[in-house]
Amino acid sequence: MSFLHKEEHVDDNMVILQANLDDMNPEWTSYIMDKLFAQGANDVFWIPIIMKRGRPGVMLNVLVDASLAASMEEVMFAETTTLGIRSIRASCHRLAREIETVETVWGPIEVKVGYHRGNLVQYAPEFKECEEAAKRSGVPLKTVYDEVRRVFMERKADCAAD
Amino acid sequence: MSFLHKEEHVDDNMVILQANLDDMNPEWTSYIMDKLFAQGANDVFWIPIIMKRGRPGVMLNVLVDASLAASMEEVMFAETTTLGIRSIRASCHRLAREIETVETVWGPIEVKVGYHRGNLVQYAPEFKECEEAAKRSGVPLKTVYDEVRRVFMERKADCAAD
Amino acid sequence: MSFLHKEEHVDDNMVILQANLDDMNPEWTSYIMDKLFAQGANDVFWIPIIMKRGRPGVMLNVLVDASLAASMEEVMFAETTTLGIRSIRASCHRLAREIETVETVWGPIEVKVGYHRGNLVQYAPEFKECEEAAKRSGVPLKTVYDEVRRVFMERKADCAAD
Amino acid sequence: MSFLHKEEHVDDNMVILQANLDDMNPEWTSYIMDKLFAQGANDVFWIPIIMKRGRPGVMLNVLVDASLAASMEEVMFAETTTLGIRSIRASCHRLAREIETVETVWGPIEVKVGYHRGNLVQYAPEFKECEEAAKRSGVPLKTVYDEVRRVFMERKADCAAD
Amino acid sequence: MSFLHKEEHVDDNMVILQANLDDMNPEWTSYIMDKLFAQGANDVFWIPIIMKRGRPGVMLNVLVDASLAASMEEVMFAETTTLGIRSIRASCHRLAREIETVETVWGPIEVKVGYHRGNLVQYAPEFKECEEAAKRSGVPLKTVYDEVRRVFMERKADCAAD
Amino acid sequence: MSFLHKEEHVDDNMVILQANLDDMNPEWTSYIMDKLFAQGANDVFWIPIIMKRGRPGVMLNVLVDASLAASMEEVMFAETTTLGIRSIRASCHRLAREIETVETVWGPIEVKVGYHRGNLVQYAPEFKECEEAAKRSGVPLKTVYDEVRRVFMERKADCAAD
């Protein structure tokens, strides 16, 4: 049903790599992000910070398995302007995840579902598929999200009622 | 004099729990904060971040004793939309703290005092009591703070002079 | 040479439309941005703000010609969760702009050039073309930018020397 | 059905009052916000900014009817540390709003509904009532929101089907 | 007693100049700020924003008398990378200001005082002088601030008592 | 050629010290930063955060060798208002660094160069020297940066061609 890690687990072998950037062209951020995700980063995000002399810099954060840290640093040194990278050890507690598909008037749309100790705690319509449906149909994106969530909730209620 | 931890100490058993949220209704943040504090979090705060596709997300941060981490995660999975939680180990160096009470024209108001190696380094009027006094009296809140600090400083000067 | 407005000018007929959002799924932001640009917005950007009850909201900003304000508002009401939109009048002083093309080892790449009172004051390699060249060649994006800027500067120096 | 402005309208008589604060105790922000709302502000929010010498300041923003500007400024001068207040004229386009009530297993909960040119474009469960229900029932707040939205959507679908 | 505008007044002839920067080296911000202040800006500040493709940009804001707008724009076009500048009209309500000097154990230190309708509403120790005193004496800066404020408050209390 | 650490290396003995500040005068930030750098901090930066009751606070971050942590904490307790400091262990991967000097029409200007595994990956004109040149010559700072980078690039190209 999915390429995702299906079992809930704790991964103790993660690192957060950080680089504070106060002299980089912000135009490069989407490219850098794409490249880090492509090479196996679990997450990439930016934090607006205030640096030396009050410079409005950004901190690049890369969450990744420790075994991939070296290749992430390779990208970070090549593509950003940093002279150093910090590394912090982290554990990640990840929910069991499944992809379910719901039927809508705009066709099938996937929902990412998260289970904690066997209980459904999260369900999130897939952005790309909802966006696609909104573009095709001309309906507002929020309407697509609402409908996907409604159909998903109803199905769960039906299952529970059986 | 106080329910606070009175001795200066370093606590090596703390963790910072983090969840990056890019699909959560921000209306829920005060409720989530209240709930985490109620269950024993030492601190809860939010960092504005930029996530995948340039989304303006927030990172929820919970500072807590490692022994309470599981129950915090329970709340985070239940009340936010996250599919994963990071955990980072941290030590906390906390000052000795005492609550002192100063007499003002608006009645007694508490001041939280911090000592580092026996020396007074911090003193902070209690917000809730100052707010209360400002509301009751119609005086600006900043005037209440100023007065509480003035009375506190004077008393300390008198003690030093004895 | 370009579809851009070629003459420096001041446009007094602009408005900034603003909506404070404290209950919207941040996943929708890229889609909303795309849609507003597609319908003629001059600029679209988000400001992280702190709203009622300390909510980490965002302010959507749309810079647009007053004649297009109504159709922008249509999109904003349809695609965001706002119940109101503020409008502020603004003038825009825009430089004369030209697109020039420089030859590089990765092929021709465009540079957007800005003139103020006839003097060249800005020149910016086109992101999409540099990104394309970086992807094709495997060279870091920042190297592409550097080279495009170097070639452009040299040509200008040569012209000046003639 | 509601004390809200029921008709969609544009109000041309609004101002945004702004004060940049680089020397104020952030503890006072909730109190200041409460006071400005109590005296008739339509909206109050804070923008993190970077000021002289790189100071991490905040800009206080108050959206209010021009007729109330003077009394807002009174509060701002009394309660913040600012030496000056900027005022910018703004128009506000507000949707028609109604409060509807939906029945849930946790009792009736209000939904704020927004209409644009007669069409329903927004519906937002009331935070305070959902929070109340979540606290009373022990159910996660997000579950309450989901259910309120589901019931509301269903009712609308039924109406449409009639 | 001071070079400052002594009377409380409203100045209707101000503008806020804004430029969104998504491709500028943040290292230049302090230099740009200095230059704009040197040429007569009343205030200069930066707002972290999220721009096209999720770029972490900054919005440069310059508050200035309309008569100086052209020379500010000159600096902005020369020193930043912007291709356009927005201008918004604003009124500024400024308090009456006086500089008073208080005697401390570290020598005389100035306090900027603000009056609203003749009433003292603000008083702020001068940062540069307090910094100087802290450096000279080795005392924490916050202690200097506290003492300056205490002496100032006492003097006012004495005056009131006369 | 330089006082900098010349070899690329990983330093496993670093800590990040953090203090969340929600009741401190932001005017003090530049002074605190200066003092921490003066006592040996590798980096000091501020992150805008949202704290209890929605307060717009800042998180002070100090990156420093573990052997200096105690003296940094001394400064932090003395100069900020915090009652506690968190400490997180970090490794730092630092590039080999050299200072090179390039000749420009405004005199010699230094460039900080970073090498990863022997390859030049970063080169950054020294801000203070470029600022100095811009002030002396009246040329825009960005022009100085551009020229320094151009000269540096050309020299590298010549070396490579030899």
| Alpha carbon distance A97, A116 (integer Å) | 9
Q: Report pLDDT for C5.
A: 62
Helix (H, G, I), strand (E, B) or coil at B143: helix
Q: How many CB atoms lie within 10 A of CB D72?
A: 23
The answer to whether residues B26 and B73 touch, using CB atoms and an 8 Å cutoff, is no
| Alpha carbon distance F95, A1 (integer Å) | 44
The mean pLDDT of E114-120, rounded to a whole number, is 97
Residues of E in contact with D48 (CB under 8 A): 47-48
Q: Report pLDDT for F160.
A: 74
Q: Return the CA Rg of chain C.
A: 20
| Average pLDDT per 10 consecutive residues for chain C, totaling 162 residues | 71 98 98 98 98 98 98 98 98 97 97 97 98 97 97 86 68
| Contact across the interface for A25 and E29, Cβ inside 8 Å | no
CA dihedral C138, C142, C144, C148 (to 10 degrees): 180
**Residues of chain E above pLDDT 70, percent:** 96
Q: Which residue of F has its CA nearest to A46?
A: F47
Q: Report pLDDT for E1.
A: 35
Residue E78 backbone phi and psi in degrees, to 5: -75, -40
| Alpha carbon distance E150, B66 (integer Å) | 43
- CB within 8 Å of F117: residues ≥ 6 apart: F8
| Alpha carbon distance B31, B20 (integer Å) | 17
Q: Is the minimum CB–CB distance between A55 and chain D shorter than 8 Å?
A: yes
| Contact across the interface for C97 and E78, Cβ inside 8 Å | no
Q: Is residue D107 within a helix (H) or strand (E), and if so which, with residue range? A: strand D107-116
Q: Is the pLDDT at F31 greater than 80, yes or no?
A: yes
CA dihedral A38, A39, A42, A43 (to 10 degrees): -60
Please tell me which of the candidates F25, F51, F53 has its beta carbon nearest to residue D25: F25
Chains that touch E (3 or more CB pairs under 8 A): A, B, C, D, F
What are the pLDDT tens digits along chain D (162 aa)? 334 568 999 999 999 999 999 999 999 999 999 999 999 999 999 999 999 999 999 999 999 999 999 999 999 999 999 999 999 999 999 999 999 999 999 999 999 999 999 999 999 999 999 999 999 999 999 999 999 999 999 988 887 776
**DSSP conformation letters of E94-143:** E-EEEEEEEEETTEEEEEEEEEETTEEEEEEE-HHHHHHHHHHH---HHH
The answer to whether residues A27 and A12 touch, using CB atoms and an 8 Å cutoff, is no
Reading the block at residue A21, the tokens are 């950037």
Q: Report pLDDT for C1.
A: 35
As to burial, measured by CB atoms within 10 angstroms (0-12 exposed, 13-18 middle, 19+ buried), residue D108 is: exposed
Q: Which residue of F has its CA nearest to E78?
A: F140
The mean pLDDT of E9-24, rounded to a whole number, is 98
Q: Is the minimum CB–CB distance between F155 and chain C shorter than 8 Å?
A: no
| Alpha carbon distance E133, A95 (integer Å) | 56
CA dihedral F15, F16, F20, F26 (to 10 degrees): 120
Q: Is the minimum CB–CB distance between F90 and chain A shorter than 8 Å?
A: yes
| Alpha carbon distance E15, E87 (integer Å) | 6
Reading the block at residue F113, the tokens are 């160069």
Instruction: Tell me the CA end-to-end span of chain D in Å, nearest whole number.
Output: 23
Please tell me which of the candidates C48, C80, C140 has its beta carbon nearest to residue A78: C140
Q: Report pLDDT for A162.
A: 66
| Alpha carbon distance C16, C88 (integer Å) | 5
Helix (H, G, I), strand (E, B) or coil at F31: helix
The mean pLDDT of E55-67, rounded to a whole number, is 98
Please tell me which of the candidates B31, B78, B142 has its beta carbon nearest to residue D28: B142
Residues of C in contact with F153 (CB under 8 A): 146, 150
pTM given for the model = 0.96
Q: Report pLDDT for E3.
A: 47
- Is residue E6 very low, low, confident or very high in pLDDT (cuts 50, 70, 90)? confident
- CB within 8 Å of B89: residues ≥ 6 apart: A89, B14, B15, B66, F88, F89
| Alpha carbon distance F2, F95 (integer Å) | 14
Handedness of CA F32, F35, F36, F42 (dihedral sign): positive
CA dihedral D19, D25, D27, D28 (to 10 degrees): -50
pLDDT in tens, F38-74: 999 999 999 999 999 999 999 999 999 999 999 999 9
The answer to whether residues B65 and B42 touch, using CB atoms and an 8 Å cutoff, is yes
- CB within 8 Å of D117: residues ≥ 6 apart: D8
Among the listed residues D120, B80, D152, B22, the one whose alpha carbon sits nearest the alpha carbon of residue A150: D152
Which of F45, F112, F115, F130 is the best mutation test for A, with the most CBs of A within 10 A?
A: F45
Strand order in the sheet with A107-116: A96-104, A107-116, A119-125
Residues of F in contact with D29 (CB under 8 A): 53-56
Residues of F in contact with C142 (CB under 8 A): none
The answer to whether residues E121 and D77 touch, using CB atoms and an 8 Å cutoff, is yes
Task: Give the number of beta-carbon pairs within 8 Å between B and D.
Answer: 33
The mean pLDDT of A35-48, rounded to a whole number, is 98
Among the listed residues D155, C75, C46, the one whose alpha carbon sits nearest the alpha carbon of residue A134: C75
Q: Is the pLDDT at A4 greater than 90, yes or no?
A: no
**DSSP conformation letters of A117-161:** TTEEEEEEE-HHHHHHHHHHH---HHHHHHHHHHHHHHHHHHHHH
| Alpha carbon distance A140, C78 (integer Å) | 6
How close A34 comes to chain B (CA, Å)? 9
| Contact across the interface for F23 and D27, Cβ inside 8 Å | yes
| Alpha carbon distance B17, B26 (integer Å) | 19
| Alpha carbon distance C43, D38 (integer Å) | 35
| Helix (H), strand (E), coil (C) string for E9-76 | EEEEEEEEEEEEECCCCHHHHHHHHHHHHHCCCCEEEEEEEEEHHHEEEEEEEEEEEHHHHHHHHHHH
Helices (H), chain C: 29-38, 69-79, 127-137, 141-161
The mean pLDDT of E93-118, rounded to a whole number, is 97
What are the pLDDT tens digits along chain B (162 aa)? 334 568 999 999 999 999 999 999 999 999 999 999 999 999 999 999 999 999 999 999 999 999 999 999 999 999 999 999 999 999 999 999 999 999 999 999 999 999 999 999 999 999 999 999 999 999 999 999 999 999 999 988 887 776
Please tell me which of the candidates C53, C149, C154 has its beta carbon nearest to residue F54: C53
Please tell me which of the candidates C23, C50, C83 has its beta carbon nearest to residue D45: C50
Q: Is the minimum CB–CB distance between E56 and chain B shorter than 8 Å?
A: yes
Please tell me which of the candidates C78, C142, C145 has its beta carbon nearest to residue A140: C78
Q: Is the minimum CB–CB distance between F51 and chain D shorter than 8 Å?
A: yes
Q: Is the minimum CB–CB distance between F29 and chain D shorter than 8 Å?
A: yes
